[in-house]
Amino acid sequence: MTKIRLGTRKSRLAMWQTEHVAAKLKKLDQTIEVEIVPIVTLGDRVTDKPLAELGGTAVFTKEIEAALLQNDCDIAVHSLKDLATVMPDGLIIGAYLPREDPRDVFVSKDGTSLQELPAGKVIGTSSLRRVSMVKHLRPDLTVVPLRGNVPTRLGAVGKEAKDAKPYSGEALDGTVMAAAGVKRLGYGKLVTDFLPPDVFLPAPGQGVIALQIRAQDDSAIAIAAQLNCARTKLAAVAERTFLNVMEGGCRLPIGAFSTFTDTTVDLSGIILSPDGRKTVKGHVEGTDPVTVGTQLAQDLLARGGKEILDAVRDSLPGSDK
């Protein structure tokens, strides 16, 4: 019998994802024994500040990576968009599971779409990318910080969701969040709008579950490889290369989304100012995801993206610059 310890955050979504991986491992080999190792991260401990203010990257992954390096777990289960583009020494991504819906969704209190929401209404979200996108598309709306797990954010706009923590902030008319988490937890029926990825670009890697392992753990590498989706990996590499060239992370207003044919990668990307007034957007097609991601990043940086990102970094606590 092989025992595999899966490291994960303790949120409902993270546990769902880890149980999903555990089920896939058992399907590979029923003799595999799976132990789930819950780990509390900085992003879980500090919930009263926007993510952009927590400093650096890996606010939802650093403690899990430390546990992996210390051999307290064998495979770490992550939402790929939370992982830094540069792995800590000794760790690699061993598998990219098939991608769930990569889009963002809008959930409104009364069923009104984001486009039709009256001026002056209040939207809650914590991601600087989502804040910037909302302000770019609807500068007449007010956007306020909203942290918490999926049920808590749904509860903040008056939706019933199991394990939602009480919300005592400003009254909200809607929130923007990832479709993948909403759908995985069974709340898809609460979605008002699925936001088109060519208009409201998602975070690089959004909707992908990644398995992180020790680079020298041959057993875990062999097991993880059996769960890898080659097509998802291509998308992830293109989007994360784009992010890496710009030295970006979850603190910065950067979006990217890739589509594929049998022979080409088509990658779209955007850089925004926090107020949404300045944007640099483009797309590149090619056959190699690393080349495509690099070319698109360099193009956007050269067309004004660097100035936007430098200004954002300068304005944030614990600057990335």
Closest CA relative to residue 149, chosen from 162, 164, 134, 137 = 164
Burial label for 137, CB within 10 Å (0-12, 13-18, 19+), is middle
Catalytic residue among 29, 44, 48, 82: 82
- Phi/psi at 284 (5° precision): -135, 140
Q: Cα–Cα distance between 63 and 199 in angstroms, integer? A: 34
| Cα–Cα distance measured from residue 64 to residue 212, given in angstroms and rounded to the nearest whole number | 10
Task: Tell me if residue 89 is catalytic.
Answer: no
Largest pairwise CA distance in the chain: 60
Active site (catalytic) residues: 82
